[in-house]
Amino acid sequence: MTFKKDFIWGAAAASYQIEGAHDEDGKGMSIWDNFTEKENAVYQGHTGQTACDHYHRYKEDVALMKQVGLQAYRFSISWPRVMPEGIGAINTKGIDFYNRLVDELLAKDIMPFPTLFHWDYPYELYLKGGWLNPDSPKWFAEYTAAVVDRLSDRVGNWFTINEPQVIVGLGHCTGIHAPGLQLQKRELVHVTHNILRSHGAAVETIRARSILPSKAGIAPVCPVAIPVDNGQQNIEAAGAAMFNVTDKDLFTGWSNRWWLDPIFKGEYPEDGLKLAARYLPANFQDHMKSISAPTDFLGNNHYEGIYVSADKDGTTRIHPPKEGEPLTGFNWRVTPEGLYWGPRFLYERYNKPIIITENGLSNKDWVALDGKVHDPQRIDFTQRYLREFQRAAADGVDAAGYFHWSIMDNFEWAFGYKERFGLIHVDFQTQKRTLKDSACWYSDVIKSNGKNL
Ligand code: FCB
């Protein structure tokens, strides 16, 4: 079987992880430029100052994307590169980089799918309170307008925000990501609410200002619960594990419904309000219409899921990893059925076309004596996950696209250059790029629209 005719095949990356040029051409500082200066915050003190030097090598990189046969490329725009202070003056040289990148992609027949925000928040706005500030949605809308005004004559597809769960959970709760905060419940709820408002404000701005007809959506990472088998009670237990709002998930940023019900249903879930209504701003209801501005698709980053079943007394059991179970370089579990159940549960509840905005694994890749990079694990992993996504499509899920994470090895946040996620190997000493075996395999998958999976 193949995916549907207009299925989108792509790969993804993000500005701070690949661009480098951290202080070139008038770019402002981001919270990641600041965070990487903190001792022991990032593996071996690595930074994104140079990263893949994509800012200078984007032409070579787009040529490689073409060689892989990508139909679409999901990249992110660095807010402080475009607006060094986050609001106010626009840095023409900064936006010009994205103009050149978009032109280069289009010249090679690759559709640009920018994400407006993938974590490199302007440091100047952080000093004003960042996502805690009730003006933060207004700031995000101003930045969105600046980008949309300059790119939407050529760009028609937009993701607003990448993984809001991680922004809250790792950036503002545990503090292992920039800005490295450990906030209280009330503040975490405010951060979440302001991010939701920012997403809505961005969608409205895209609709109001886009030159081309626009499609827009968000790119969350949704924890997926996989039933251990097809027993009806186990399926129900998995659905409940995915969608029940618990104290732990809500305040640490990981509750699926606390994020997605506001966006797709225009209301916070009742069970969540019981836990958190007292922390929300008094006028939160006034914001729900904008937060739920209609979108065109639901992006979804997926790496690993958990297995659950229903116990006899009706409680949900979470199954720990089995002895010797396969693990990726990151020690993440290999759970291909997540790409069946995640899309299925999300589609059943929210009824939007699903685009997998990230999926992949880190692997211990290096250039072999024959000059090639052999990564059979990446091929096997991706094949298993894509087969499951195809099965979801066969069972009625509107499977609209797939972006592999990542197009190339890059700066993996707190893990620096230790984790390699790319289809393309990058030698960070020389900046030499080498297509991995998986890139050639992926190329064939794209050509066959998934028939050869
Ligand atoms: C996701 C991020 C992405 C990358 C992958 C491995 O959480 O969105 O930037 O780090 O994980």
Give the CATH number for residue 91.
3.20.20.80
Distance from the CA of 406 to the center of ligand 1, in angstroms?
Answer: 9
- Catalytic position from the list 19, 104, 358, 388: 358
3-state secondary structure of 24: coil
Measured from the Cα of 163, ligand 1's closest atom is: 8
Q: Which of 358, 406, 408, 417 to mutate to test the pocket of ligand 1 (most atoms within 8 A of CB)?
A: 358
Report how far apart, in Å, the C-alpha atoms of 442 and of each of 9, 378, 448 are.
Answer: 10, 10, 10
Name the residue of 30, 32, 382, 412 to mutate for ligand 1: max ligand atoms within 8 A of Cβ: 412
Q: Catalytic residue at 39?
A: no
- Point out the ligand 1 atom lying closest to the alpha carbon of residue 166: 7
Ligand 1 atom at minimal distance to the Cα of residue 330: 6
Active site (annotated) includes residue 85:
no
Alpha-carbon 435 to chain mean position: 23
Closest C-alpha to ligand 1, atom 10: 412
Ligand 1 atom 9 nearest Cα: 14
The number of the ligand 1 atom at minimal distance from the alpha carbon of 14 is 9
Cα separation, 112 vs 11, in Å, equals: 11
Does residue 170 fall inside a structural domain?
yes
425, containing H or E segment? strand 424-427
What's the 16 CA to ligand 1 centre distance in angstroms? 11
Instruction: Give the CA distances from residue 418 to residues 84, 232, 327, 373, in Å, rounded to whole numbers and listed in that order.
Output: 29, 42, 16, 16
Residues with C-beta less than 6 Å from any ligand 1 atom = 14, 17, 162-163, 166, 221, 301, 358, 405, 412-413, 421
Say which of 124, 163, 388, 412 is annotated catalytic.
Answer: 163
Q: Is 1 contained in some domain?
A: no
Ligand 1 atom nearest to 412, measured from its CA: 10
Q: How many CB atoms lie within 10 A of CB 33?
A: 20
SS3 403: strand
pLDDT of residue 314: 83
CA 327-328-329 angle, to 5 degrees, is 125
Print pLDDT tens along the chain (453 aa): 999 999 999 999 999 999 999 999 999 999 999 999 999 999 999 999 999 999 999 999 999 999 999 999 999 999 999 999 999 999 999 999 999 999 999 999 999 999 999 999 999 999 999 999 999 999 999 999 999 999 999 999 999 999 999 999 999 999 999 999 999 999 999 999 999 999 999 999 999 999 999 999 999 999 999 999 999 999 999 999 999 999 999 999 999 999 999 999 999 999 999 999 999 999 999 999 999 999 999 999 999 999 999 999 989 999 999 999 999 999 999 999 999 999 999 999 999 999 999 999 999 999 999 999 999 999 999 999 999 999 999 999 999 999 999 999 999 999 999 999 999 999 999 999 999 999 999 999 999 999 999
- How far apart are the CA of 170 and the centre of ligand 1, in A? 12
pLDDT recorded at residue 105: 99
In a domain, 102, yes or no: yes
Q: Which residues, 6+ apart, have CB-to-CB distance to 301 below 8 Å?
A: 162, 163, 219, 220, 221, 222, 356, 357, 358, 359, 405
> Is 3 within the bounds of a domain?
no
Domain count, the chain: 1
Ligand 1 pocket check: which of 301, 409, 423 to mutate, most ligand atoms within 8 Å of Cβ? 301
216 within domain boundaries? yes
Could you report how far apart the first and last alpha carbons of the chain are, in Å? 9
**Could you give phi then psi for residue 264, rounded to 5 degrees?**
-105, -15
Distance from C-alpha of 31 to C-alpha of 29, rounded to nearest angstrom? 7
pLDDT of residue 157: 99
- Is 453 within the bounds of a domain? no
Q: Which atom of ligand 1 is nearest to the CA of 360?
A: 6
Residue 334 inside a domain? The answer is yes
Distance 358 CA to ligand 1 centre (A): 8
The one-letter amino acid at 450:
G
The residue whose CA is least distant from atom 4 of ligand 1 is 412
Inside any domain, residue 452? no
| Rounded distance between C-alpha atoms, residue 339 and residue 318, angstroms | 18
Q: Give the per-residue SS3 of the chain.
A: CCCCCCCEEEEECCHHHHCCCCCCCCCCCEHHHHHCCCCCCCHHHCCCCCCCCHHHHHHHHHHHHHHHCCCEEECECCHHHHCCCCCCCCCHHHHHHHHHHHHHHHHCCCEECCEEECCCCEHHHHHCCHHHCCCHHHHHHHHHHHHHHHHCCCCCEEEEEECHHHHHHHHHHCCCCCCCCCCCHHHHHHHHHHHHHHHHHHHHHHHHHCCCCCEEEEECECCCEEECCCCHHHHHHHHHHHHCCCHHHHHHCCCHHHHHHHHHHCCCCHHHHHHHHHHCCCCHHHHHHHHCCCCCEEEEECCCCEEEEECCCCCEEEECCCCCCCECCCCCECCCCHHHHHHHHHHHHHCCCEEEEECCCCECCCCCCCCCECCHHHHHHHHHHHHHHHHHHHCCCCEEEEEEECCECCCCHHHCCCCECCCEEEECCCCEEEEEHHHHHHHHHHHCCCCCC
The protein residue whose alpha carbon is closest to atom 2 in ligand 1 is 163
With the most atoms of ligand 1 within 8 angstroms of its CB, the residue from 32, 163, 168 to mutate is 163
Contact 409, 425 (CB under 8 A): yes
Domain hosting residue 92, numbered range: 8-447
